[in-house]
Chain A
Amino acid sequence: MSVPDSERFSRQLLVWGEEKQRQIAGSTLLIAGLGGLGATVSQIMARAGVATLHLVDDGAVAWSDLHRQSLYGECDVGRKKLQVAEERLKAINSGIDIIAHESRIDRGFCIPPEVNSVVDCLDNFVSRFDLHEATPTGRFFVHGGIEGEQGQVLTLMKGTSQPLDEIFGGYLQPKGPIPVSADNVIIIAGLMCNELFHIMCGAPKLLDRFLVVDLSSFTFSFLEV
């Protein structure tokens, strides 16, 4: 079924207008990681009408993912997240292009030059550092992280901002599963999307500035880097 964009986007056009919609519709994102953050970020971006989504993941859906990873259901357990995500996102918006990369993020990872912004939805800092290293100069890099009732969002501009591995230097991944719940993941993912929309309009709000969210006390604070 083909529906005119004016109908599909009628409610969000009331929020941000046609010019912003055109900017969103002209954007290409790379979303690394299709876990909690990536499942929600990719879904919001598909619904909003982002032109092209490059998705990167190499994992399969597990029962322990279902409480927070909003693209997947019981019938998907054992299937590749990348394949399920592509199906679901196409079902949400058949007008966008999805380019699937079944890959781990490591030193050899290459980011296509047409990508405007790179979205870090990964779950470990080693891969995050490699993703940032692979990001082309001049592109935005939006980082998100979550743990318990805390989370953070940060935007860097590759080449002018501090590198991610300098900011987080010395930080070691906690051993064992990271505590995380659906509400917190979806809030942080929503904030990442909000920042991505600002970036698409040329006005990031979190460039070189952490937004640190503490949901146990409902506080937001900023940390300059």
Chain B
Amino acid sequence: MLRLQFYGLLRLMLSGKEALDLPWQEGDTVGRILEKFQAVETIPLTHKLISEQGILHAGTIILLNRRNILHLDKLDTPVRDGDVLALFPPGAGG
């Protein structure tokens, strides 16, 4: 299994859902996990994260086991059983 965690506005959009465990398969990537998530979640969310062209939007950081996937292989980053994927739209103001 792989754990997907939601923070901030994303959690609010998901009616307070904090996390979701998803089945993991050999060859899964961050992008594939987000597809799996959207297949089981009726509330549309992944369009907030990824454009139709498959490019990451800039308003949410995605951390795989504490590391920003931008510095890994972005949506093609491989994931493993037991990984934790956190979706966090930070506050920008001060």
User: Using a CB–CB distance below 8 Å, which chain A residues touch chain B?
Assistant: 33, 35-38, 120-125, 144-148, 150-152, 162, 166-174, 178-180, 188, 208, 210, 212, 214, 216-217, 219, 221, 223-225
Contact = CB atoms under 8 A, between A and B. Distances in A.
Interface size class of B (residues with CB under 8 A): 20 to 34
Interface of B: 5, 7-9, 11-12, 16, 18, 56, 58-59, 61, 63, 66-68, 70-71, 86, 88-94
A35 B7 CA distance: 25
Contact of B71 (A146, A169, A171): A169
When A and B form their complex, which 4 residue pairs have the shortest distance between CB atoms, in order from nearest?
A147-B91, A172-B58, A178-B93, A145-B91
29 contacts: A36-B94, A121-B94, A123-B92, A144-B94, A145-B94, A148-B9, A150-B9, A150-B91, A151-B91, A167-B63, A167-B68, A168-B61, A170-B58, A170-B61, A170-B70, A171-B58, A171-B61, A171-B90, A173-B92, A174-B92, A178-B91, A179-B93, A214-B11, A214-B12, A217-B11, A217-B12, A219-B16, A223-B86, A224-B66
B93 A145 contact: yes
Contacts of B93: 36, 123, 145-147, 178-180
A168 B67 CA distance: 10
Given A170-B56, A216-B12, A124 B63 contact: no
B8 to A, nearest CB: 4
Nearest to B9: A150
A225 B7 CA distance: 14
Nearest to A174: B92
Contact of B94 (A33, A150, A221): A33
Contacts of A168: 61, 68, 90
A167 B61 CA distance: 8
